Amino acid sequence: MKTTFLSKTGLFVGGIALLAAASLPATVSAQSILTYKGKDREAKLIAGAKKEGALTIYSALTVNQALRPLADGFQKKYPFIKVDFWRGSSRKIAQKVLAERRADSLVADVLEGSGLSQIMIKAKGVVPFSTPYANNISKKYRDENNLWVASRFSYFGTAYNQKVIPAGTQPKTYSDLLNPKWKGKIAWRIGSETGALLFISNLRMAMGEKSATAYFAELSKQGLINFKGSARTLVNRVVEGEYPLAIQIFAHHPIISAKKGAKIGVQMMQPIPSVNGTIMVPKGVKNAHAAMLFIDYYLSRAGQNVLKKARYFPVVTGIDPRKELTSITPRLANLKENYVKPETLFKLRKGSQKIFKKYFKHGKTVVVKRKKKKKKNKK
C-alpha cells in the first residue's frame, strides 16, 4: 500500500478573484457519476474507480493526526486506488485548485476544509454531488444545492499556559479579556477564516453591531499579538510560555497537548463560535468514481470514527467525540453555541475585515513561515 504526500510547489496565485475566471466544466459523464443514485451505484463506482486507479485529496486536516489515517483506511478498503493528498489552509486550497484549472491541469478530486465552500462556490469551482451517507447528517449541515456536505465540526476557545496563569484564574468571559492585567499577553491568529475574523464575526452576531464595535474598541487597547501561522503552532507557543493566552483557538488542540503532559488549559467563552468543515468535488474532476467512493468512506461510520480517534468532532448523527472532548462540546456540556454557517461567515467577512483593519491591524505581528517539506512516500 502506498500513500504519497504531495509537495507544496507552484500553482499559487495572489488572489481568489483572479482565480474565479477559471472554467473547465465537468464532463457530462463525470457529472452523471457524481449524482448517480441507482441501486447499482456502489458497483458502478468501484468498476469506474478500478479504471481510474487514482485519487487526490486536498484537505486542511492535520496530516498525521487525521488526513493520513483517513487515506490509509480508504486505501485499505480499495487497494486498487493510489491515494495522493496535499494539506494546506482552506484559502490556499482554493488558490491552488483554481490556479490548476486556469492552467488546465486540475489535480484535486476531493476538497475538504473550513471556510472553503463559499470561496469555491463564488468562483464556480465546485459541482453538485450525491451520497447516501449525507442522510446521516442533519440538513442544517448540508448545502441545499448539493455543492457541499459537512465534514467535521470545530469549536473554539481560549488556550492558556497554566504555569503562567494557574487554573481558575484565567479569563472566563469575553469581558474578562478587557482586564488590564492581560494587556500584551493575548495572541490570536490572522490570515485565516477561522481566526481573528471568526472571533469578530461571532461577537457581531452575539452582541449586535453597536455593542460589538464598542467592545472591539476596548479590546484593541490590550495590544493583541497578530500571529500569522497555523493554529497548532500558536498552541505550541502557548505551551512554551511565549504567549500566556491565545484566543480563538481550535478547542481540541490544547486538550491534545495536555494529554501529552503540557501545562495548558482551554476556556470556553460563551457563546462559543462553531463552524463546520465541508467536503466538495471540484469542477473538472478527473477521477469522479474514486472521488465519490472517498466521500462515501469519509462520511461513513468507519471514516467518522477515524476523525473521532484523531480527536476531531464527527458530523454523523450518533457518533459522539472522545470523552476528553465532552467538556468543550456545546451540546454535551450544555454550553451556549453560535453556529456560523459557511454562507454567514462569508457574508460577514468584509465587515469583520474592516473592524480588524480599524482596531487591530497595526498591532504587533508575528509571521511564522512553514518549513518546506520534501516529498514523502509511505509504503
What's residue 230's pLDDT? 87
pLDDT-derived band at 108 (thresholds 50, 70, 90) equals very high
For the chain, what is the largest distance between any 2 Cα atoms, rounded to a whole number of angstroms?
65
**Strand segments (E) across the chain:** 3-5, 54-59, 82-87, 110-113, 149-161, 186-189, 225-228, 245-250, 264-267, 272-280, 337-339, 365-367, 376-378
267 DSSP β-pair partners: 158
pLDDT-derived band at 29 (thresholds 50, 70, 90) equals confident
Mean pLDDT for all residues in the chain: 91
Under 8 Å between Cβ of 16 and 98: yes
What's residue 22's pLDDT? 36
**18 pLDDT above the threshold of 50:** no
**225 pLDDT above the threshold of 90:** yes
pLDDT-derived band at 371 (thresholds 50, 70, 90) equals low
- Distance CA(350)–CA(354), nearest Å, equals 6
The single residue listed with the C-alpha cell 478498503 is 77
Per-residue pLDDT tens digits for 329-368: 999 999 999 999 999 999 999 999 999 999 999 988 999 8
Per-residue pLDDT tens digits for 38-56: 999 999 999 999 999 999 9
Top-confidence residue, 374 or 32: 32
- Secondary structure element (H or E) that encloses residue 222, with its range: none
Domains delineated in the chain: 3-152+276-320+373-378 (3.40.190.10), 154-275+326-367 (3.40.190.10)
Per-residue pLDDT tens digits for 145-157: 999 999 999 999 9
Instruction: Report the share of the chain in percent with pLDDT over 90.
Output: 84
Per-residue pLDDT tens digits for 237-279: 999 999 999 999 999 999 999 999 999 999 999 999 999 999 9
188 DSSP β-pair partners: 226
Segment 99-125 mean pLDDT? 94
Per-residue pLDDT tens digits for 185-194: 999 999 888 9
H helical segments located in 163-219: 196-207, 209-219
pLDDT-derived band at 8 (thresholds 50, 70, 90) equals very low
What is the b/e burial string over 271-304, where b = at least 16 CB atoms within 10 angstroms of the residue's CB? bbbbbbbbbbbbbbbbbbbbbbbbbbbbbbeebb
What's residue 145's pLDDT? 96
Segment 166-185 mean pLDDT? 97
Alpha carbon distances (Å) from 46 to 201, 296, 302: 43, 12, 18
State the distance between the two ends of the chain, measured CA to CA, in whole angstroms. Answer: 6
pTM across the whole model: 0.87
Under 8 Å between Cβ of 125 and 58: no
